[in-house]
Amino acid sequence: MTSKDFSIRDGEQAVKLPEKTDAGVYFIGRIRTPWKDRKDCPKNARESDAVCTVELDPRWAKGLKEVEKCSHIILLYWMDKAPRNLVLQVPRHYGEPRGTFALRSPARPNPIALSVVRLLKVEGDTLSVVGLDCLDGTPMIDLKPYFASTDSVPEAIVGWHKRD
């Protein structure tokens, strides 16, 4: 992925970024996937059966205690190659401008991506998961247990999106 993948298209709009950030994040690990180039990443993570690996920095490994009891987890990761100043974007598959916050595009003020993944196993500081679509080497910033009671909303609707 190079910055030219993110050149501004007709209908897109950027803003001036604030002069400084307000808080700092630690990269706590790396995500290993089979995809080395953005064009190879799956279009929909649910359509991929690829087993990916999350390598947590050993510093944090004890934080995994009992994570193996979760069938699904939420991964937050940092899309560090995306521009942060776009407020309107024209995704290729929609063809018209939408607000950044109506999209899951990596281009956003804070380039944090979120994936719900199925957990296969935990070994030491490494997790095997299914359901990712990101580039190999993507920095991870958090992982959390997925609670169906608060995180699952099967009836949720996004107006322009075809229902499965």
Which of the residues 35 through 54 are near a copy of itself (CB under 8 A)? Answer: 44-46
Q: Which one of 1-9, 30-38, 138-146 is the stretch in contact with a copy of itself (CB under 8 A)? A: 138-146
Buried b (16+ CB within 10 A) or exposed e, 21-46: eeeeeeebbbbbbebeeeeebbeebe
Tokens of 91: 């995704």
2 binds a copy of itself (CB under 8 A): no
d(CA 131, CA 135) in angstroms, rounded, equals 13
Residue 30 or 32 having the CB closest to a copy of itself: 30
Would strands 72-78 and 86-89 be described as parallel, antiparallel, or unpaired? unpaired
Q: Which of residues 93-132 bind a copy of itself (CB under 8 A)?
A: 97-104, 108-110, 112, 114-116
154 binds a copy of itself (CB under 8 A): yes
Kindly state the smallest distance separating residue 139's Cβ from a copy of itself, in Å: 7
